[in-house]
Amino acid sequence: MSIDAYYFPGTGNSLAVAKEIAEKTEGTLISISSVIDMPTIKTGADSIGIVFPCYLAQLFGIPLIVERFVRKLEGIGSKYVFAVATCGGRVSVNALPTLKNLGKIIKSLGGRLAAEFSINLPMNNLEYISIQHQDHEKMFERCQIKIEEICWCVTAKVKNGHRIRQSLFNMLITPMNAMLQHFYVEHLKKMAKENENTRLGFRELIYLSDKSIYVDDSCNGCETCVKVCPVRNIAMIAGRPVWQHHCEMCMACDEWCPQRAIHHWNKTKGHDYHHPTVKITDMLTQARRRTG
């Protein structure tokens, strides 16, 4: 049995989880951003793991880069596919709808999401009151237990799905999510600095939302943001980072800036976080693999 563990990084949560899964299952760790530019993505592995974060995705699908990645996978129908959604909020509200959306996409391509998992880890975005009360140590402890469970399941190619109670809950919140979509789109129009009458949809507005990211005077032009961005969305112009409007809203630029000079509109003011086991060298290594 062979496993390719693909991940989409930002704060490092998904990288940390994917790395442990790859190590414990003797699989291969692969950044989604390192293969996303390929016309098609082929793997000789028996199993494909997809590890990614949830943010606004429970309303509209999955992170856009993850969706593009999945649609490029070849021979997905013959693979054991599993997914791990990392989220900072409630699993039932964040991870569950996201995983169901991913399952639908994989099914439309002739495959099946054989196993789906969620891991609750510290969040870094939105003005949630609960963010101040997260016990990081306990979350990391529970994460380790969950990773052991995931590794056992994927090694044995166990198939699982949502429990009936979870599925019923998802059906109940679907109408509420539909109502929230209008609110989020209107907010994104402002962040993308588009006219309220624009016909641009959610996906286009996400890409343009970087128009509301700004840099303060403490920026020293170190280019760390350029190197950690998983979609090459930042260019250095006259010694300052300039966003190129195909943003994935992962906030890697903000969280990994050594000078704390970058400010993302969707990030809680004064709250900085990236996974403690992931170092800047890990992020830069992935950047070198992407450009090398």
d(CA 261, CA 214): 8
Kindly list the domain boundaries of the chain, sorted by start residue. Answer: 3-166, 195-291
d(CA 63, CA 261): 25
In degrees rounded to 5, what are phi and psi of residue 84?
A: -125, 115
At residue 246, the 3 state secondary structure works out as coil
**CATH 3.20.20.140 is the classification of domain 195-291:** no
Q: 68-89 as b/e, with b when 16 or more CB fall inside 10 Å?
A: ebbebbeebeebbbbbbbbbbb
Quick one: pLDDT at residue 120?
87
pLDDT digits (tens, 9 = 90+) for 46-60: 999 999 998 776 567
The enclosing H or E element of 103 equals helix 95-108
pLDDT in tens, the chain (292 residues): 799 999 998 888 999 999 999 999 999 999 999 999 999 999 999 999 999 998 776 567 789 999 999 999 999 999 999 999 998 777 766 788 888 889 999 999 999 999 999 998 887 665 554 455 678 889 899 999 999 999 999 999 998 865 545 566 666 666 666 677 778 888 899 999 999 899 998 889 999 999 999 999 999 999 999 999 989 999 999 999 999 999 998 889 998 999 999 998 877 666 777 888 888 888 876 655 544 4
CB atoms inside a 10 Å sphere around CB 93: 17
d(CA 13, CA 87): 9
Architecture of domain 3-166 in this structure: 3-Layer(aba) Sandwich (3.40)
CA dihedral 247, 113, 277, 31 (to 10 degrees): -50
Check residue 195 and give left, alpha or beta (phi > 0: left; psi -120 to 50: alpha). beta
Quick one: pLDDT at residue 259?
92
CA of residue 87 relative to chain centroid, distance: 9
Position 276, amino acid: P
Q: What pTM value is reported for the model?
A: 0.89
The enclosing H or E element of 59 equals helix 57-60
Say if residue 259 is exposed, middle or buried (CB neighbours under 10 Å; 0-12, 13-18, 19+).
middle
